[in-house]
Structure 1
Amino acid sequence: MTWLDLIAVPLLAKICLVSMFPLSAYDKIVHWGEAMDQAKSGPLPFPALLLILGIAVEAITPALIVIGLWDRAAACVLAGFCVITALMYHQFWKFPRFWSRNGQGRTHLWDFFKNFGLVGGLLLVVIGGSYAPVLQVVAHPLSNGPTSAPSILDRR
């Protein structure tokens, strides 16, 4: 395998996966009042402490994931953060007509599912596994990943 397979593509994937979190931490600092209002709107106690912890998680764990230092632990913490945020602060089901175009909870619906999409990506960092060589993926784009069960396409 080449540096492209072992370093460049996995690094780019991790950067893409976590790039929004440091920006979110910065936004919470710059717009502290709005962030505090959102933290107070949830059911959890100690909103100021939670906001500070959230900023720390969003600022530190992405760096650890990208540089590969305690990346599995950092991905677990960040995945937990995403689950808690989704369940406590994006309760779309509490809004009437959340699915309709003008429904109040529509934004919460999509934020809820985006958080769980991020959880899935972060869990892939946790479980690790081997990376498929980029050229192999390009040559066989419909084949299964390295940890999947073999399919009919893989037998060809």
Structure 2
Amino acid sequence: MTRPVDSGIIFIARIALAVLFLWGGVMKLLGYAGFVGYLHSKGVPFLQIAAPIATAVEALGGLLLIVGFKVRPLALIMAVYTVATAVLGHDFWNVVDPALQREMVIHFWKNIGIAGGFLLLFVTGAGRLSIDGARAPRGGLGR
């Protein structure tokens, strides 16, 4: 993929993914006690470590996606994180209320789809409209 339009599309994809995570990270910071309570209700182990890591992954990950810095390794981290949040946060197999279970199924598969987007970003790289692209030799997509 070396067409000029590709870098623009990759940039739009990075922004679309970043908005979700940057927003989530900021909301976690603003309502940190509530976020910790939610993790506790889900039985997440090592809350003292998990909560700040999750907040940092979302807030810093979102910012790094926007500027396009170290996107390949970041995309792998974000894919793993997104699958982990699907399994821990949207555990529809443990829900008995049919309406809530349906909603959890949707959120679970949404997260899996987002992880797929991150895997594609891992393959494409950040594109030219990024810090990675500015630092890369010309002829590629910022790999």
- Tell me the TM-score range normalised by the shorter chain: 0.7 to 0.9
1:12-33 residue CA offsets vs partner (Å, 9 max, x unmatched): 1210122110110111111223
- RMSD (Å), alpha carbons: 1.9
Shift of 1:111: 1.3
Whose RCO is larger (CA < 8 A, sep 6+)? 2
- C-alpha change, 1:30 and 1:104, in structure 2 (3 Å) is same
In structure 2, the residue matched to 1:126 is 122
Are the aligned partners of 2:19 and 2:62 in contact in 1 as well (CA < 8 Å)?
A: yes
Q: Which has the higher helix share?
A: 2
Residues 22 and 61 of structure 2 are in contact (CA less than 8 Å); yes or no, is this contact kept in structure 1?
Answer: no
The count of residues paired between Structure 1 and Structure 2 equals 124
- CA deviation vs aligned residue, 1:70-107 (integer Å, no higher than 9, x gap): 10110111111111111112110111253xxxx23233
Which of structures 1 and 2 has the bigger CA Rg?
A: 1
Unaligned runs of 5+ in 2: 128-143
The 4+ residue runs of structure 1 with deviation greater than 3 A are none
**Match of 2:87?**
87
What is the CA–CA distance in structure 2 between the aligned matches of 1:111 and 1:28, rounded to whole Å?
18
Q: Percent identity?
A: 27
Aligned to 1:33: 33
3-state DSSP of counterpart to 1:39: helix
Structure 1: stretches of 5+ with no match in the other structure:
132-156
Equivalent positions of 1:72-111 (< 5 A) are 72-98=72-98, 103-111=99-107
User: What are the Cα deviations for residues 44-65 of structure 1, in whole angstroms up to 9, with x where unaligned?
Assistant: 3121321110110001122223
CA distance in 1, matches of 2:96, 2:19: 33
Matched with 2:19 is 19
Deviation at 1:6?
4.7
- Map of 1:62 onto structure 2: 62
Structure 2 length as normaliser, TM-score?
A: 0.77
